[in-house]
Amino acid sequence: MESIISPEEPSSDGVPFIRSLTSDDFLSGFMAYSQVYDDWLRDQPNDFNLITSMLKANDEVRLHSRVIFSWLNPQGSHRQGNAFAREFMVMLGSDLASWLDLSRLKVFREKNRIDLCLTDGRRYLIIENKLDAPDQRGQVRRYVEFVQTEREALPEDILLIFLTKGSRNPSKRSLAEWAIEPDGNGRLRLVDENGKEQAGYRHCSYGTDVLEWLERCELQLSCSNDGGRLDNLRFAFGEYRRVVERISGKTKETRMALEAWILEGGDPASMHKRIACAESIVEQMWKLKARWLKHAMTEGMDALLARWAEYVEPVKPEDLGVTTVEEFKSPHATAFFSPKTRWHPNKGRFWKVTKGAHADRLALVICIGKTWLHVGLLPLRAGKLSDGVWIENLDARALNIRNNPISEKVLLGFRSFGVPLEQAILQMAPFECSEQGQVVQSIVSMLVNESTNGNSQRLGLHT
């Protein structure tokens, strides 16, 4: 396979460039595709969803269990009684449509650690909601035994629904010596270690069963002649349905696929070259990212601070009494991005303020934690690491720096602008134009202006 990365030929700023070795010019073709894609995308429906703007799409407790409960609950604020619960039971199948007496239905959420439980006082339908959380030891068995013991329910009056994104059933760890077996009537049941039935069992999937239930409810609402009174419910069901489509991989595609351009763009005879080039970019991209990071942390920072050399000077972490951050070296950039190297966090560089009102009282820091890149200010006392008490009156918003977890656990009192490095690295070449570069310039400019004006009150520094 031809490589399109030329690491031996860096550009003038030390950042390697990419060149195409294909006859149909891979990169030019891709840039043309990108322009067509951007033009096309502007005409497509947007992807905004009110629910996922507030909660993660896979949040099974705060999102999915709560939403499903709110609609199954006949006493819910939707004021539709058991209408949505009835559609849920119909979705489970004709043999279960009337299994519960819906006129006596009560629904519970997170009671005795059971995600959802529907009961008419005699029968119990337990829903174990499993999106990404691992099975707990004896979880399924414990829930069934609780209903048997505390509610005195018979095995034939208990049904456990295992709800997932895919098709997986409870693990052996969750069943705890129980098993799932056919009951001879086309249904499944939970049996103990002696083969005795303990409860009925049914698997449900978000991508098929929940979507069917939501569509049934939406259809019922669409047939209602309510004069718009239920429009909020129609909207809510539509928003949640789109969330379920997203987590189950059934979102309707509204974007052009890069795959289509690679396979179909340009001369069909050169398709294999486009595929080879795309694969080569993927294989080599981590090396490019490592070079960009190395340049940003070394030459990039040094060039940016050169004009302020009389105000800040580079120092080693140990010179400041810092033992929690190791001085950044070029191999650390490779270690962060390489798929074969383990990353050891907390690598950085330090510049002590040496002139003006803040001499020996502040240090400029750029460092990498576990996954985030931070740029900011560290308080000092007589040129050494302090107890972190400083900058009471600093307008942090103006400098775009704030407290981060690294401030409490690694560098006491450190205020920084932090972003995930994987996200930031794509905008860090050239470094001086990146967000991090702009923050560095803003911070040092502020320090120089404060020193020049002889006014340290604005910072509210403690001695």
For residue 258, the model assigns a pLDDT of: 65
Run of H or E residues at 288: helix 271-295
Token pair recorded at residue 156: 């034939």
What pTM did the predictor assign? 0.55
Query: Which pLDDT belongs to residue 460?
Result: 37
Which is it for the CA torsion 127, 129, 134, 136, positive or negative? negative
The 8-class DSSP code of residue 314 comes to E
pLDDT of the residue at 18: 38
* 164's tokens: 């997932």
pLDDT tens-digit map of 195-216: 999 999 999 999 999 999 999 9
The residue length of the chain stands at 463
Q: What's the pLDDT band for 7 if we cut at 50, 70, 90?
A: very low
DSSP 419-449: EEHHHHGGG-SSGGGSHHHHHHHHHHHHHHH
End-to-end CA distance of the chain: 62
- How many C-alpha atoms does 147 have within 13 Å on its Cβ side? 31
Say how far apart CA 137 and CA 127 lie, in whole Å: 17
DSSP symbols for 193-260: TTS-EEEEEEEEEIIIIIHHHHHHHHHHHHT---TTTTHHHHHHHHHHHHHHHHHTT-PPP-S--HHH
Lowest mean pLDDT among 119-128, 319-328, 385-394, 441-450: 385-394
Task: Please give the DSSP secondary-structure letter assigned to residue 55.
Answer: S
Give the confidence band of 359 by pLDDT, cuts at 50, 70, 90.
confident
Place of tokens 């985030």: 372
Q: What is the DSSP letter of 296?
A: I
Q: What is the pLDDT of residues 151-207, one digit of tens each?
A: 999 999 999 999 999 889 999 999 999 999 998 888 999 999 999 999 999 999 999
Phi, psi torsion values for 72, nearest 5 degrees: -75, -25
CA pair distance 135, 133, nearest whole angstrom: 7
Highest mean pLDDT pick, 283-297, 402-416, 447-461: 283-297
At 120, the pLDDT band (50, 70, 90 cuts) reads very high
